[in-house]
Amino acid sequence: MDRLANTIRPYAWGSTTAIPHLLGTEPTGEPQAEMWMGAHPGAPSRTDRGTLVEVIDAAPEKELGAASVAKFGPHLPFLLKLLAAGAPLSLQVHPDLEQARQGYEDEERRGIPVDAPHRNYKDANHKPELICALTEFDGLCGFRDPLRAADLLDALGVDSLKPYVDLLHAHPEDAALREVLTAILTADPEEMAHTVTEAAAACDRLGGAHAPYADIAHHYPGDPGVIAAMLLNHVRLQPGEALFLGAGVPHAYLNGLGVEIMANSDNVLRCGLTPKHVDVPELLRIVRFEAGDPGVLRPEATPDGEEVYDTPIDEFRLSRYVLPAGGTTHDLTRSTPQILLCTAGSVRAGEHELSPGESVFVPAGEKAEVSGAGTLFRATVVA
């Protein structure tokens, strides 16, 4: 197996302390938002044999296994991250596989450069993802019941929000949610900025269920995404709890440190809380206007001590081992590729001693025995 050297991305929303604290390093004062583990061409992990992209390209079936290559192609189909949000991320959705293929082919046909700021589809893949909290973790996930959203907006006492409140009482629910989100994102920018300012002041005054939106407005003053965010469920994960985010589900991470895994894609349609491009017509094509519970996941334990986060897709499978001092050695050998990440304590993986934030890549079929006293996350595929 290969010890990984991983890139930390300094996005503006990143925490300045969470990843350094986990790694046991001194903060630099700059945001450290994500540490990437995998073979994404934007920031591939490095090994003694070259980048993980180069290692896999040299011998795909040897590194990934025949079953994974047959199912997903000669590339690692997932990207594993440490994610540290110190401020809200953009409100966003991801396409399903067919939508991604159609969107990518359309933009390619129209000759839009892949790095153009108004480009929506960087690739032809979908981007389901899972976030597992390492600390208390706040996020927004999926539409809340329209009547609850109406009550939340109505309590602000902002006259310009009254039409949205009335629309949210209409039926059917999906049409009501679509009409309100469309109205928010297509409103006159100056008028909406004034509405957001009034709403933010009311959220700050009311506190309670409104408090998260006051904080969002502090980071994104005047942004229509502040009002759009109030249509969504607010979720606070405890350490070890997770959220699965499928295609079309609007979401945003607000604060906290977690382990994130996703299909290897860059496709994002933004709804707000961002200075970046918002393509409203395409967004409305992708969003699933379905209200419901966000569905907090807790791991399911297996007899051998593995705790699995069950999801409905095959590009990734995330699990963890909480290893007690003096416990037994676990054989994690598998016919698919794996990345093992230590997040607490000290774990021995093969010949490698892993401290928090350290990781290894395990080629398909490679012997993988782990022991120690700590927490180890295991990322692989279902093939």
Whether 270 sits among the annotated catalytic residues: the reply is yes
Q: What is the dihedral of CA 190, 191, 194, 199, to 10 degrees?
A: -140
Burial-class residue 257 by CB neighbours within 10 Å (0-12, 13-18, 19+). buried
Q: Do residues 80 and 37 lie in contact, with contact meaning Cβ atoms separated by under 8 Å?
A: yes
Residues 6+ apart with CB under 8 A from 128: 94, 244, 245, 246, 247, 262, 263, 311, 313, 315
Q: Count H helices and E strands in the chain, helices first.
A: 12, 21
Residue in 270, 317, 348, 378 annotated catalytic = 270
Q: How far is CA 59 from the centre of its chain?
A: 30
Distance between CA atoms of residues 25 and 10, nearest Å = 16
Determine how β-strand 330-331 pairs with β-strand 269-272.
unpaired
Distance between CA atoms of residues 147 and 173, nearest Å = 9
Distance between CA atoms of residues 242 and 316, nearest Å = 14
Which residues are tagged catalytic? 270
